[in-house]
Structure 1
Amino acid sequence: MIKVSADQSILEAVRLLLQSTGRDIYYFDEETSLEHKVNREHLIALVASGFPAALSLKSMEAITPNLLSSTIDSSQTSLGFVMRWFISVFESLHDGVLIIDHNEIVRYINKSFERISGAVFSETVGRVLTEARPGAKLGSAVRTGKPLLGVRRKFGEIEYMTDMHPIIINGECIGGVTIARDITEIQQLQTKLSKYQVRYNDLLRQINKENTATYRFADICGNSPALHAVKRLAEKLANSNLPVLLRGESGTGKELFAHAVHLASARHEQAFVTVNCAAIPGPLLESELFGYSAGAFSGAKQSGKSGLITLAHNGTLFLDEIGDMDIELQAKMLRVLQTGEVQPLGSVNKMKVNVRVVAATNRNLEDMIRIGKFREDLFYRLNVSQVYIPPLRERVQDISVMAEHFLGQCIHPSFGKLELDAETLRTLERYPWPGNVRELENTIRFIANITDRTVITPDYLPQVFFQHRTLVQKEQTIKPDEAVSLKTMKHAAEKEMIVAALTSFGRSVQGKREAAKQLGISLTTLYARMSVLNIK
């Protein structure tokens, strides 16, 4: 408790009140020999109302008995109560408040204004604004009747923004009010946000750099009408946001088309994320695609992991071999396509993503739907824009163009640039190419590395080409009564080629892998064809 003399001025009493936060102040009335508790809100309200602050507590009490005392009338209709109510509101505000009258004398500042601006109540209230706070602009708002907004100030380490408004009643300006908002924390957050934004942009550039499409439509070479038609269709679809389903045999160049669709789209500057659904086991593929939260499963990173779908945000997600995706995971991918939301494993939160999906498969999805291996709803969602890439045997005109293109990429250490003679090109054009473009590329690389002359002749081609030529010659000598179906002939030729490759490389797992590579097909496709053709 602090005692003050009744002869002390109102302003001195206010100063003591502000300096003794949390402590009560009493003044002693000698005439009545009674102590009166000074009410903070009453006193500040009195000063804010324009009451002469130089008067002593005793003289003021003589004018308005009990006005300072806590026993003051608490009727909610009284002027004193209303004043105290407003002062209590101002004192509770986080923003600073300064009020002047029409003579530009400061009548009130709240505690927040003291904290933000460094002003002191006892040194500010009752004084002309420009004397108490040189450079203050609130007086201009009072004189012109026009507000001043967004004036920035700084006190020590505190930055604050002020809005100044005239107080107008019945068309007459009776004063002005300044509202001061501490923006230091906002500025600090903006600085941190700027740093995080720079870091985010760096990471985004790194992601996009590591997940970048390489091939454009101009890189897909060939002169056949079939290829030109496919490229025109794919180029048109590239300009949309529709999913694209690339279909065709293994090795026809579906991945090149996926790259080209991305680079021809409006998303070309964003990430191009490739996922081979056949190469990753089902449970692992789910965590790779969707990511996971911390502790989602045994062995999960404590920090969690972002999924590939999230990394492809605003870009393209290429799902290669989608026919090999587990049917349970297909349901989740359908959900992503329908809602644009991703829910990481072990998380209850969903994230919005903007991803364009391009899928590819060499499977017969219609047959897979019939046997319950592929979801019909996902098929129709993807099959909105289907692009079928014909096998190389159906576009023979492209073989010589592609062969020359691949050969141009092979520089022999002794001969430099290589050429194919006419007979070699004819042999390549007669071959059925079960492995399609991939097999053609591998064949050209093979002969370019073993040749000992600049012009490559047919004798440098792999053994399988000679076996195929012999088979063709046999077929040409078949008599009408010995004729067989085209399908039978195709299977016979394919079987002989596979057997020849297995004979060359062996039937071990590694040998089959090499044989598949030579044929330009995947190991999975090789096993499938061996089963169909009854090759033991």
Structure 2
Amino acid sequence: MKVAEIMTKDPITLCKEDTIGKAAEIFHNERIDGAPVVDAENKLIGIFTKSHLMKAVKEGLENSIAVGKLMQTDVMKITEDRTLESAWKIKIGRLPVVDKDNGLVGILTRTDLVEAFYTQSQKVVGELTTILDSSHNGIIAIDVEGRIITFNSAAEEILGYKAEEVLGRQIADIIPNTGLINVLETGEEEFGEKINVGDVVALTNRSLIYKDGELRGSMAIFQDISELEKVSEELNTVKNLNKELDAIIESVSDGLYVTDGNADTIRINSAYEEITGIKSEEVLGRNMEELVEEGIFSEAVTFQVLEKEESVSVMHDIKTGKQVLSTGNPVFNEEGEIVRVVTTARDVEELNHLKQELEKTKELSEKYYSELEKLRSQQLEFDEIVIKSGKMERVFDLALQVGRVDSTVLITGESGVGKEIIARTIHKVSDRRDGSLIKVNCGAIPDNLLEAELFGYEEGAFTGAKSEGKMGMFELANDGTLFLDEIGELPLNLQVKLLRALQEKEIMRVGGTESIDINARIISATNQDLEQMTKEGKFREDLYYRLNVVPIYVPPLRERKEDITPLISHFLQEFNEKFEVNKTIASAAIEALENYDWMGNVRELENLIERLVVMTSEQMITLDCLPEHIKKKQQGNLDIEIFDIIPLKQGVSKVEEDLVKMALDKYGSTYKAAEVLGVSQPTVVRKKQKYGI
């Protein structure tokens, strides 16, 4: 912008013959501090100001004296084509503006400049606001004090707040999980992070704001990806279903041959390759008519299924010389058209053997399906919870019940039984679920640091302390849940402070002088006998009763063997996905794992399944793959009295039948019989059906 655009045109002027009295009158009437002096041709020859008037008064000069005798002839001036920025650098209140011939064309005041710059800044602010509000991404900025200074329209729409409601307020009070405060504190910018704000899932980038090399705040640009997350979840579901389908197809002992409605081959499994000797690369994508003409098949059951639109079984020869019994089944769409023909193939020479194997596979598939359905139903509510036994169902029922109140909970049980999962479950269903769940392992932190970790510390509390002090776990868990794991390891001196925190609902930082109010629910856990420890003076009795308001005992895995098979399925699927493999496990191996005592409980079982998935070279994990101490436990030492020689297989079946019948006769319940026999309840049901008991 140029001077000519904002100057005052046709300004009030004086000539050098005007008297100082006239000048004073003009200054008074027009309320100006000075005026340029021009000659007859309107050329600038000087400037006369109030300062000259005051000098005249001071020296006692007459009002009739001409202005020309007192005016300043060495005048600072500016041309009309100069920029406002250059004019601002001339520190004069009233600046004459002249043309190239020194003719007076206007007056530029500091007020004119301020108003022009203000107008420009308002225009820039308006344009910037328009740009920010035109963005589809939410934009939030805070100053170094954590106060919100920018909140655009997209942020209003995504987060459900109006800008006027939040501007100037602390970001931690409005949206505590933006991460902007952390960026300020660490100085590390973050990109591509996901955050949850209410029902919204947003992808955010967090940056620092600098001006003239000085940190002024931080900002976040975020995009609502809630719909994208839903699509991603659906894709993951489809992906998992495909993996399950692949696993099922490959685990079936029958050969499977799949064509579309035009008899083009689209899938065969490895069992079909093994039975027939035909490789997938020979037939995939090819039509059955072409394959029959080449002599790969003597006839195709697929064409008969397409013609009759029903299941058809045929006996036919293949190029390897084997005779195969094939059964084709049509798959219809909603319009009643055949879209797939699924053919199962069986080697006639091994039909009896396959029939027995099929029965076992069917039993195992039903078992897996039952367990998988159980896992799915549980996963709808808690992804990480896998239970089937009545004991654990009662534990989780209690956890869900106590989660709805705010009582203090003490979880006991051996190492590895899942005490932390119980704590997380209680937190998830409680009114504090939107708050943090802070875990402190009292046995993993040195005694000299544990107090500072729990209660925090003030500036200079001890050597090595942060200069700004630090919040403790109690403060971090405010409005949430504090989970004190291995509470039996807490030193006696800290037990006193913990008891006070529970009773008074307040804490004092290490080195502090003022109490801090807290509002955290306490859940503690231990694998020790706290009641015995109180008798031995190793644990305060008053603290024990304060913690043990609602006790929850988690039984060891050996007391809930019904959970072993679902846990095996869960961990097997988890590590198959993690290591991108497709391992399965034999029923004999599952029974051996069910019979093992698991002194390390669920954690030991999880570690073993991971080791088996990683170390087993074959796709099927068999009994031989298990560690020796588990196989020995499975084999056991039974004193059985033998009266005559019979085939070994027949003898084993007879002993098995007698044991199952005796257990059922004595206890009348498949669950109780399974418990005393050391197997799962589905195993007892299968044996009962097998022997017709």
**TM score, norm. by length of structure 2:** 0.39
**TM score, norm. by length of structure 1:** 0.50
Higher relative contact order (CA 8 A, sep 6+): 1
